[in-house]
Amino acid sequence: MPASIRTAVPADVPAIAAAYGIAVRESVATFDVTDPPDDYWLDRILSPTRGDHVLAVEDAGEVVGFAYSAPFRPRPAYAATRETSIYLQPGATGRGLGRQAYEQLLAALRSDGVHCAVAVIAQPNPASVSLHRSFGFELEGTLREVGRKFDRWVDTAWYQLLLH
């Protein structure tokens, strides 16, 4: 069965939480240090807000990751901007699944009339930087030592893509 990208459904929450949990415990890809509760993911999946999407990455009938877009910041003037991200289980990387998911995610954002996508990438992460740059995201700046995880300071690189 080939890989597919589809809109996530509530039944995907355990697999999405598992993929994210790996990033929480083993990487600086997220600055979370504990796993969010399942309700956190359910709320994202069920969000009725235009521009909010969660896409499940399914391979051989199993959800192996997800891509999502969410509000960039809570103030109303940011309504046409979404932060985007993707998380894949380690065995699902390097096979083009992230590219497929991002293609669909960006298409959905354009369809929703979202103006700007922002990605915040903890450094170093050459694979994520390469993926985002391949879609036209541009580096807008780096915030030095803004996070601390695994007993070290972590920089974040801020990337932006104007969608229209």
Percent of the chain with pLDDT over 70: 99
Question: How many angstroms separate the CA atoms of 136 and 30, rounded?
Answer: 22
Sign of CA dihedral 139, 141, 146, 150: positive
The domains found in the chain, sorted by start residue, are 4-162 (3.40.630.30)
CA–CA separation, 6 vs 108, rounded Å? 11
Q: What does each C-alpha distance from 144 to 45, 104, 152 come to in angstroms?
A: 32, 31, 12
Model confidence over 109-123: pLDDT tens digits?
999 999 999 999 999
Q: Are strands 62-71 and 81-88 parallel, antiparallel or unpaired?
A: antiparallel
Q: How confident is the model at residue 3 (pLDDT cuts 50, 70, 90)?
A: confident
The CA distance from 93 to 148, in Å, is: 25
Contact 153, 122 (CB under 8 A): no
Task: Report how far residue 109's alpha carbon sits from residue 136's, in angstroms, rounded to the nearest whole number.
Answer: 15
Mean pLDDT calculated for residue range 48-57: 97
Instruction: Tell whether the model's pLDDT for residue 164 goes beyond 90.
Output: no
**What pLDDT was estimated at residue 20?**
98
End-to-end CA distance of the chain: 35
pTM of the model: 0.95
pLDDT digits (tens, 9 = 90+) for 114-155: 999 999 999 999 999 999 999 999 999 999 999 999 999 999
* Whether residue 1 has pLDDT greater than 70: no
